[in-house]
């Protein structure tokens, strides 16, 4: 990106803050451990015995690092229950949890009134979603539909030329039934739904779509992909020069256009229609004003190169993911989506949110941890077949947030709300 003269000067001032270019080179010079010994390191360990935990804490304390708060809530959880969730464990981070609700959802899987837990440190956030939920409730609730469920992996096979890759692919396409059996041998819940090839020169990518059951599925499909690749290599008379279990064509933990081309996770839509009196009473604006602001936000999103256009999907996703033991890094892809608004012939406001990539689960990962389990129980999302229900509740919450923030922007009170809720009161 081009820099103007003021920015260039600022960059130079920061780089040379402590002296001249020679001093900068000295600061940036690599310092090998033989020259400057490293502090004691944590040996990679999954051990969570009291002795192992205390040994790690001792290392930190001896370096003058305060960890009293990290260790203080240890009595609430048996460290042994963290098996498979953390390495080099020393303590727990604490994030405040607020509740949005009730939120009325009329979904294919989620039907009822829900209290939604949101873990966040952003003032005004829960209040905003609460306001949106109130408007949605007064309109009769929102509809929600989890349409598809899949998780993608994209192994890559490298050959000497494209023709060889084509010969390899021809054999792969004859082995689909065997590949499905290989997947099912790794998990009784995982199924191979589809295999799509993508040939780029002499590299062959196989886009594998799996059904993960009630798990979010990243680990599950990694093991399944390994089984698929091994089966292909055993059965195929054409041998690649090398291969990789993931060729970075899956969109894993990244915002990509794949979100709109194929579902990775649970594609979910939530929508509602807001009568004008409700918009005026609760949002202090009008359907037309909200629609006009939505148009402006779409144009802004186009100019910024945004993948999808919306107000703040990541806020709801991150807060619910943290509260419910989900993989928070998946917000990167789950927050790709589109908010849609329209005016009905009766002057009401139609609002929808489409989230193609809601990566969530109700088993596996961190869902078994005490607070996460409690939050999932709060939503009625414990037990078989509840992952689509969780996705619909998430989409409904996202919808509430979009209603609130677009209402606030169109009414001109966005900054005022943050001034009221997002700052500490002076004593």
Domains of the chain and any CATH numbers: 38-94 (no CATH), 97-149+260-413 (3.90.770.10), 155-244 (3.30.70.420)
Residue 5 is predicted with a pLDDT of 78
* pTM for the whole structure: 0.90
Residue 378 is predicted with a pLDDT of 95
Residue 303 is predicted with a pLDDT of 96
Contact 324, 214 (CB under 8 A): no
Catalytic residues: 122, 327, 418
- Mean pLDDT rounded to a whole number for the chain: 91
Using the structure block, give the residue that is written with the tokens 């939050």: 375
Residue length, the chain? 427
Residue 298 host element (H or E): helix 287-304
The neighbouring-strand residues paired with 149 are 266
Contact 181, 234 (CB under 8 A): no
Residues lower than pLDDT 70 in the chain: 1-3, 18-19, 44, 73-76, 263, 415, 417-427
Q: What is the DSSP letter of 282?
A: I
Q: Which two tokens stand for residue 380?
A: 């009625």
Residue 314 is predicted with a pLDDT of 98
Q: 278-334, pLDDT tens digit by residue?
A: 999 999 999 999 999 999 999 999 999 999 999 999 999 999 999 999 999 999 999
| Long-range contacts formed by 415-420: CB under 8 A, 24+ apart | 417/124, 417/127, 417/128, 418/123, 418/124, 420/124
């Amino acid at each position: 990106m081009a820099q103007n003269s003021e920015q260039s000067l600022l960059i130079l001032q920061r780089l040379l803050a402590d002296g001249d270019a020679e001093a900068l080179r000295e600061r940036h010079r690599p310092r090998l451990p033989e020259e400057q010994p490293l502090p004691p390191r944590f040996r990679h360990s999954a051990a969570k015995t009291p002795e192992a935990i205390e040994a790690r804490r001792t290392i930190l304390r001896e370096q003058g690092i305060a960890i009293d708060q990290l260790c203080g809530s240890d009595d609430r959880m048996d460290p042994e229950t963290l098996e498979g969730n953390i390495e080099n464990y020393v303590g727990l981070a604490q994030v405040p949890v607020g509740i949005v609700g009730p939120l009325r959802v009329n979904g294919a899987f989620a039907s009822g009134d829900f209290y939604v837990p949101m873990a966040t440190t952003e003032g005004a956030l829960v209040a905003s979603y609460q306001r949106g939920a109130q408007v949605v409730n007064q309109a009769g609730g929102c509809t929600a539909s989890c349409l598809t469920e899949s998780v993608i992996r994209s192994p890559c096979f490298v050959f000497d030329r494209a023709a060889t890759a084509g010969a390899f692919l021809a054999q792969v396409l004859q082995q689909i039934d065997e590949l499905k059996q290989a997947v099912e041998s790794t998990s009784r819940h995982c199924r191979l739904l589809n295999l799509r090839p993508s040939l780029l020169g002499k590299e062959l990518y196989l886009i594998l779509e799996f059904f993960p059951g009630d798990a979010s599925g990243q680990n599950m499909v990694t093991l399944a992909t390994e089984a698929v690749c091994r089966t292909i290599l055993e059965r195929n008379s054409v041998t690649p020069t090398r291969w990789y279990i993931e060729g970075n064509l899956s969109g894993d933990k990244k915002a990509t256009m794949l979100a709109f081309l194929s579902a990775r996770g649970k594609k979910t839509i939530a929508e509602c229609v807001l009568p004008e009196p409700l918009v005026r009473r609760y949002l202090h604006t009008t359907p037309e004003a909200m629609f006009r602001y939505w148009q402006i936000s779409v144009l802004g999103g186009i100019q910024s190169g945004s993948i999808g256009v919306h107000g703040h999907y990541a806020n709801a996703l991150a807060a619910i993911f943290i509260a419910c033991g989900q993989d928070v890094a998946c917000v990167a892809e789950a927050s790709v989506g589109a908010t849609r608004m329209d005016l009905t012939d009766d002057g009401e406001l139609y609002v929808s949110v489409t989230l193609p990539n809601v990566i969530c689960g109700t088993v596996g990962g961190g869902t078994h941890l005490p607070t996460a389990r409690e939050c999932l129980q709060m939503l009625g999302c414990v037990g078989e077949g509840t992952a689509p229900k969780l996705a619909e509740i998430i989409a409904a919450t996202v919808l509430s947030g979009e209603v609130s923030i677009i209402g606030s922007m169109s009414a001109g009170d966005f900054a005022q709300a943050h001034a009221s809720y997002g700052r500490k009161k002076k004593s």
